[in-house]
Amino acid sequence: MRTNVAFKTFFTIAIGVSLLSCNSNNKYKNNSRATGWDINSKDGGFQYNTDFKEQETGPGLVFVEGGTYTMGRVQDDVMHDWNNTPTQQHVQSFYMDETEVTNMMYMEYLDWLKSIFPPSQENYKHIYNGAVPDTLVWRNRLGFNETMVNNYLRHPAYANYPVVGVSWIQAAEFSKWRTNRVNELMLEKKGYTKEGARYNDVSAEATFDTETYLNAPTQTYGGSDEITRGGKNADKLGTQATDGGEAKNIYVQRKDGVLLPEYRLPTEAEWEYAALGMVGIREYNTYRGRKKYPWDGQYTRSGDTKRQGDQLANFKQGAGDYGGIAGWSDDGADITAEVKSYEPNDFGLYDMAGNVAEWVADVYRPIVDDEFNDFNYYRGNVYTKNEINEDGTVKIVSPNEVVYDTLSNGRIVARALPGQIAQVPIDETDTYLRTNYDDSDQRNFRDGDKRSSRYFEPFNEISTSSQRMYNSPQFTTEADSMGVIKPKHDDSKRTTLVSDEVRVYKGGSWRDRAYWLDPAQRRYFPQDMATDYIGFRNAMSRVGSKSQAKNKTARN
């Protein structure tokens, strides 16, 4: 009897404490700690998503919890590149594609472009053509590879193989497109935009762009309010117009936490950190040993009893040996392999060694400048801002104002599509009295700019191109008398291939020996060129807490 009374008393106290806690939380959520005013009041005032828990994981991504690690630590340097000097770096948490971007994923992109911007129309022909991978990368002067030239990208047999023949520029443009399509679906699924509009109502004159929606929502989908506010939950946003007043906050904003950050190429520091997967050998607050590959051990073959001797990645075994003896293949592939053919690393990421090497976001320099920065290291920042019209509104690119770039190889690619916000470089008014940056283009900061050249003298300009820090080839294009654009060759003597237009790529490929499987190895390639062994995967920044909710209490 006493036990029952004690239990009831304890239960009553627990319920009371719980209610007090709930009331306390509700008070915090619904009242401002700054002013005491109500938050999210039906009468108006400040509206905010107080129920936000954490960032949703986007399609195709896995979570990578950030931390510190030694970047650039290679087991050996037989190539004598001397570009892997170890530095201690800290990387914030982020998300990364579980696999490399596949042919099917890229074909979806091409299909969308071809549907919205028909290449048969003169104004749009370069949009689709500029995005198509270069399938001729498979050709070899002394090899019969026409089967891959004709089939690798489009045949369903290669649907889940990593896309190749994609330049860094094309990979970056795919990332922008992917961001917009994912967020477009987010708004529709949550009932804010018209259902099915992404299939039935889009055109070159009416497209969705994430930044346009956030900055000028009334101009999204060509200004069709029927689409942007056509969802069943659209009227639940903000405060509606009453008694002749004006409706406010009736579109999803960044503070609502609905839209995801951008899909992008990972930085070199992020890619290497994710590939190593050091979390697998973490013990308390230290790493237990070192890793040469994304998996444990110093060898490329599995030591597991069930798979003993199997290769753990797709790479070149030796001269004339890309896969092993027929019927008992060493790695199961001669060229690329279907994604997920090998075991993932400790972050759950597949093919972080072998299969295809991968573009990362960084501009290449031989040295990682950790003396200036050791947090989220990245070289390649070019800061821009939204172009503003005379009336103070942002400038939206119209179908007649598509921005094209002619690359050094003569290929034409679109950089700003209809419906996007036009971008311009930041200027002196944006950098005045700032200490953290002073120019729009920061790609060659401390390594390639005037101050870092041996010819630099204060108050004197560097006079000739040969006095630049990196005297790299200057490939340009020119139009002939008929208006045909042709590449213009650089006949000057040059001392290096390093420039602001070469990007880092990481990881070994099906063409590479095991030496390049080490995640710390780094190489570079012109950003407007493509190969049959470089692909890419996307990343996304993590906003908010360093750990996911389910991992916050994990301590090993």
**DSSP of 294-319, one letter per residue?**
SSSSSSSB---TTTTT-BSS----BT
What does the alpha-carbon distance between residue 295 and residue 318 come to, in Å, rounded to a whole number? Answer: 21
CATH number at residue 265: 3.90.1580.10
Share of the chain above pLDDT 70, in %: 90
Q: Is residue 464 part of a domain?
A: no
343-369 pLDDT, tens digit per residue, is 999 999 999 999 999 999 999 999 999
Buried b vs exposed e over 184-202: b needs ≥16 C-beta within 10 Å?
Answer: bebbbebebbbeebbeebb
Q: Is residue 121 part of a domain?
A: yes
The letter for the amino acid at 177 is W
Supply the pLDDT for residue 88. Answer: 95
Q: Is residue 182 part of a domain?
A: yes
What are the E-state strand segments in 170-302?
A: 282-283, 286-287
Share of the chain above pLDDT 90, in %: 64
Q: Is residue 11 over pLDDT 70?
A: no
Lowest-pLDDT range of 155-164, 207-216, 306-315, 515-524:
306-315
Domain boundaries, position 101: 61-189+254-384+501-541
Supply the pLDDT for residue 7. Answer: 56
The residues that bridge with 485 in the sheet, in sequence order, are 479
Closest among 210, 232, 233 to 221, alpha carbons compared = 210
83-134 pLDDT, tens digit per residue, is 999 999 999 999 999 999 999 999 999 999 999 999 999 889 899 999 999 9
Closest among 419, 46, 406, 508 to 239, alpha carbons compared = 46
What does the alpha-carbon distance between residue 370 and residue 287 come to, in Å, rounded to a whole number? Answer: 21
Q: Is residue 230 part of a domain?
A: no
Q: Is residue 23 over pLDDT 50?
A: no
Lowest-pLDDT range of 260-274, 352-366, 468-482:
468-482
Is 262 in contact with 176 (CB distance < 8 Å)? yes
Q: Is residue 319 over pLDDT 70?
A: yes
Residue 429 CA to chain centroid, in angstroms?
29
Mean local confidence (pLDDT), 140-165: 97
Q: Binning pLDDT at 50, 70 and 90, where does residue 282 land?
A: confident
Largest CA distance in the chain: 104
What does the alpha-carbon distance between residue 237 and residue 228 come to, in Å, rounded to a whole number? Answer: 12
Q: Is residue 117 part of a domain?
A: yes
* Mean predicted lDDT score pLDDT of the chain: 88
Supply the pLDDT for residue 77. Answer: 77
Q: Is residue 512 part of a domain?
A: yes
Type and span of the H or E element at 200? helix 197-200
Supply the pLDDT for residue 24. Answer: 45
Q: Output the pTM of the full model.
A: 0.91
369-401 pLDDT, tens digit per residue, is 999 999 999 999 999 999 999 999 999 999 988
Q: Is residue 3 over pLDDT 60?
A: no
Q: Is residue 109 part of a domain?
A: yes
Winning range, highest mean pLDDT, from 28-32, 92-96, 480-484:
92-96
Q: Angle formed by the axes of helices 103-116 and 168-189, to 10°?
A: 80
Burial class (CB within 10 angstroms; exposed 0-12, middle 13-18, buried 19+) of 409: middle
Q: What's the domain count of the chain?
A: 1
Q: Is residue 212 part of a domain?
A: no
Structure tokens at 28: 């915090």
